[in-house]
Amino acid sequence: NAGVTQTPKFRVLKTGQSMTLLCAQDMNHEYMYWYRQDPGMGLRLIHYSVGEGTTAKGEVPDGYNVSRLKKQNFLLGLESAAPSQTSVYFCASSYVGRSYGYTFGSGTRLTVV
């Protein structure tokens, strides 16, 4: 049982390049999330999804796009990377219902130069 798997684990991009971060969960969770974690800023929600085919904006969505074509996968895209997007990105998933905490992946460390 892998839980939440993120790929890649590390990536260096040049300003203006694009990339897609992949997130896969094998727990049949309905909800999935993308967060970024920066020193002194805590975890901030980028986008989230409450089910296959649905997505919504979080706290810091600018510069990112997402897709949830399959229930188990949630993709985060950067169309034109900027140095301000240098961060550690975490994907998480959860069951529907208030008693369940999130299951996080191990993160993607992205550097934009």
Partner 1 sequence: EDQVTQSPEALRLQEGESSSLNCSYTVSGLRGLFWYRQDPGKGPEFLFTLYSAGEEKEKERLKATLTKKESFLHITAPKPEDSATYLCAVQGGKLIFGQGTELSVKP
Site for partner 1, rule CB under 8 A: 4, 40-45, 59, 90, 92, 98-107
Residue type, 97: G
CB of 16 to partner 1, least distance (A): 28
The three-state secondary structure class of 61 is coil
CB of 8 to partner 1, least distance (A): 14
Distance CA(31)–CA(17), nearest Å, equals: 29
CB of 71 to partner 1, least distance (A): 20
CB 4 within 8 A of CB 21: no
Structure-block tokens of residue 32 = 């999935």
CB of 80 to partner 1, least distance (A): 27
Structure-block tokens of residue 88 = 């550690």
Q: Which is nearer to partner 1, 79 or 89 (CB)?
A: 89
The three-state secondary structure class of 83 is helix
